[in-house]
Amino acid sequence: MNHRTNTPLLVALREQKATRLKGGIYHRTQVDLTYNSNRIEGSRLTHEQTRCIFETNTIGLTNDAVNVDDILETVNHFRCVDRIIDEADQPLTEALIKELHATLKQSTTDSRREWFAVGDYKRLPNEVGGMETCPPEEVADRMQSLLAAYRADPHPTLESLIDFHHRFESIHPFQDGNGRVGRLILFKECLGQAIVPFIITDRLKPFYYRGLREWGRMNGYLLDTCLTAQDEYRALMQYFRIGE
């Protein structure tokens, strides 16, 4: 059984979420995690627009056309972040992973496509970065094996969480949204395992992708990228005077 604990960070995130405190680490985490994770996947929204949506439920003034799906997935991602904070100290389950995907894609263009399985595993083969992924008919078994192996680890480390993330992204279980769901899971499990969580910023995107490609051959690439992101989030915790 994995060890779960309520760290000062998790306590602060839950308290600030409950009170909707503005300007604290919950507020900053919501905006930064949502902006960067969506941006990595092609969202055109700026950090300022993302912050505006979170704070006022409006997009703010803009001279450029805005993709409605970018707005919907931003709002949906805020809800996903709330969910992983709520569930941080609970075991990771297949049901939760599917619920995160369903929430992320709710009411989007993808949700109206018959072939797109919102909240369920992919029906059509897909690839990522030109690389083949798990065939649709094998996804359920591969995901169950992945989760069983993870739950068997009594003391997950940062490196084992990154390995889980790589395996999840290699399976690529959903038609779309795998990167964002995968990074939400990674943040959740760091929170639950008393490991300082981290946000892969858009600036780190090329190093993150290189690390995913090279994992298993040169693990240092992805590990170093995640450690850099972890240092940045640790500095944020220190600013808000939250201990580890």
pLDDT tens digits, residue range 75-94? 999 999 999 999 999 999 99
119 known ligand binder: no
Of the listed ranges 5-14, 122-131, 213-222, the one predicted with least confidence: 122-131
1 pLDDT higher than 50: no
**Mean pLDDT (the chain, rounded):** 94
24 known ligand binder: no
Tell me the average pLDDT across 199-223. Answer: 96
**Topology adopted by domain 8-239:** Fic-like fold (1.10.3290)
The torsion of the CA quartet 226, 45, 100, 15, rounded to 10 degrees, works out to 80
66 pLDDT higher than 90: no
pLDDT for the residue numbered 3: 53
Tell me the average pLDDT across 218-236. Answer: 98
Q: Six-digit token pair at 211?
A: 């690390």
In this structure, are residues 3 and 190 in contact, taking their beta carbons and an 8 Å threshold?
Answer: no
Alpha helices in 57-115, H assignment, sequence order = 68-86, 94-105
Let me know how many helices (H) and strands (E) the chain has, helices first.
Answer: 10, 2
- Helix/strand/coil for 110: helix
181 known ligand binder: yes
Query: Where in the sequence numbering do the catalytic residues fall?
Result: 172
pTM higher than the cut 0.75: yes
At 119, the pLDDT band (50, 70, 90 cuts) reads very high
180 known ligand binder: yes
In this structure, are residues 36 and 45 in contact, taking their beta carbons and an 8 Å threshold?
Answer: no
Cα–Cα distance for residue pair 163/212, rounded to 1 Å: 9
Of the listed ranges 2-11, 66-75, 94-103, 173-182, the one predicted with least confidence: 2-11
Phi and psi angles of residue 127, each rounded to the nearest 5 degrees, phi first: -135, 165
121 known ligand binder: no
- Cβ neighbour number for residue 63 with a 10 Å cutoff: 4
Tell me the average pLDDT across 29-57. Answer: 95
- Helix/strand/coil for 26: helix
In this structure, are residues 151 and 158 in contact, taking their beta carbons and an 8 Å threshold?
Answer: no
Cα–Cα distance for residue pair 23/156, rounded to 1 Å: 32
61 pLDDT higher than 90: no
Q: Six-digit token pair at 208?
A: 């993150």
In this structure, are residues 37 and 183 in contact, taking their beta carbons and an 8 Å threshold?
Answer: yes
User: C-alpha distances in angstroms, 88 versus 13, 108, 189, 244?
Assistant: 11, 26, 6, 15
Cα–Cα distance for residue pair 74/14, rounded to 1 Å: 20
15 pLDDT higher than 90: yes
